[in-house]
Amino acid sequence: MTYVVETANLTKIFGGKLIAVNNMDLEVEEGTIYGFLGPNGAGKTTVIRLLLGLIMPTAGSIKVFGEKMNLNSAHLRKRIGYLPTDPKLPNKMTPITYLDFVGKLFSQTKDQRISRLSKLIRSVGLLPSASREVKGFSTGMVTRLGLAASLMNDPDLLLLDEPTSGLDPAGRKSTLDLIEELDREKTIFVSSHILSDIDRICTHVGIINEGKLIYSGSIKEMKKHIQSNVLRLELDGDMNTFCDRLASIGGMAAFERRGNFTVEISFVSDTSTLKAIQDVLGLIVECNLDLISMNSSTSRIEDAFLKLLEEEESRGFTRAV
């Protein structure tokens, strides 16, 4: 197994008081989209700056591409693409002139720059605005241009810090679509506090809270962590008859009506939940109900995320007393 990013006991303290990163062991496997998830202020941006070698750790070590990362690791940074949160771009430049400038910083030839920027401008949907000055761009357009700039050097590792922050639904979708396409050829590290974005595009996830990594592993394993076996159904029709007959379903622990159209069903964990769900769906058909929506809480990253945070806070309280 090859790791593109490895940290050991990584710690960063600012001013001798603020522990921004706390003894972090992080491993990012080659070819994955690794979601770095945590509340605002949890330390996500500080970790990215450490991985880039822009700041030095107080303690611990960082390896990128198997080599130690530090302030003098320019050869490693040439293999990394970086999109900061809310990128600040030169107002007087256009997407063409800006990406051409970035290409020059990486010592690309003119032919290489033209070929690369033409492809990227089209990929991020900025072709109609390719000759417009950046000062008239919306937040979404600036973010997309910043993403294009992070790809000008065709990096092996892409570090994206809150890439969908401030974007409208259309902008978020196009950005996430592009990240998913890049997964075929790059290792991607995505920092975000938006749970649904991480759930959609990432294969692995790390959760940081108050500078401490409280979980690292696959998305699937994280979801299994909650194991609450709860099914939420939104239905339209004769709910009374449905609920009366629901009690006879085998493997069901309990159910609760929530409003006029929603029922929440919990299943006994040591029985076949799949068989019980099949029986519930069959009952919906028998009662001639319309199924509006169905959600299993065992598949919700929000539930897993909140549970992990609660467990960490509980352990912190126990340590304190």
Both 207 and 234 in a single domain? Answer: no
pLDDT given at position 319: 42
pLDDT given at position 300: 56
User: Is the residue at 316 inside a domain?
Assistant: no
pLDDT given at position 270: 55
Residue 226 tokens read as: 């909650």
Both 141 and 62 in a single domain? Answer: yes
Tell me the H-state helices in 209-295.
Answer: 219-224, 239-246, 273-286
The mean of the pLDDT values for the chain is 87
Query: Phi/psi at 66 (nearest 5 deg)?
Result: 80, 0
pLDDT given at position 314: 62
Is the pLDDT confidence value at 64 over 90? yes
User: Is the residue at 238 inside a domain?
Assistant: yes
Both 215 and 239 in a single domain? Answer: no
Beta strands in the chain (DSSP E): 3-14, 18-29, 33-37, 59-64, 67-68, 80-83, 157-161, 187-192, 204-209, 212-218, 230-236, 252-258, 262-267, 290-296
Both 184 and 155 in a single domain? Answer: yes
Task: Encode pLDDT of 133-188 as tens digits.
Answer: 999 899 889 999 999 999 999 999 999 999 988 788 888 888 888 888 886 679 99
Q: Report d(CA 280, CA 274) in Å as an integer.
A: 10
Query: Phi/psi at 290 (nearest 5 deg)?
Result: -95, 125
Q: Report d(CA 206, CA 38) in Å as an integer.
A: 8
Percent of the chain's residues with pLDDT above 70: 88
pLDDT given at position 317: 39
Both 238 and 166 in a single domain? Answer: no
> Mean per-residue pLDDT for 113-142?
93
Beta strands in 163-223 (DSSP E): 187-192, 204-209, 212-218
Task: Output the CA–CA distances (angstroms, integers) from residue 291 to 210, 232, 280, in the order listed.
Answer: 41, 11, 11
Both 284 and 181 in a single domain? Answer: no
Higher pLDDT, 205 or 299: 205
Both 274 and 213 in a single domain? Answer: no
CATH code assigned at 240 = 3.30.70
Number of domains observed in the structure of the chain:
2
Q: How many CB atoms lie within 10 A of CB 130?
A: 16
Task: Output the CA–CA distances (angstroms, integers) from residue 16 to 13, 70, 314, in the order listed.
Answer: 6, 21, 26
Both 121 and 198 in a single domain? Answer: yes
User: Is the residue at 283 inside a domain?
Assistant: yes
Q: Report d(CA 43, CA 12) in Å as an integer.
A: 10
Output the DSSP codes for 251-276: TEEEEEEETTTEEEEEE-TTS-HHHH
User: Is the residue at 320 inside a domain?
Assistant: no
Query: Phi/psi at 232 (nearest 5 deg)?
Result: -110, 125
Both 214 and 236 in a single domain? Answer: no
Local confidence band at 299 (pLDDT 50, 70, 90 cut-offs): very low
Q: Report d(CA 161, CA 285) in Å as an integer.
A: 46
pLDDT given at position 320: 41
Q: How many CB atoms lie within 10 A of CB 320?
A: 6
Both 177 and 286 in a single domain? Answer: no
Is the pLDDT confidence value at 105 over 90? yes
Both 129 and 210 in a single domain? Answer: yes
Asked if residue 289 lies in contact with residue 319, where contact means CB atoms within 8 angstroms, the answer is no
Both 111 and 243 in a single domain? Answer: no
Local confidence band at 117 (pLDDT 50, 70, 90 cut-offs): very high
What is the residue range of 256's domain? 230-299
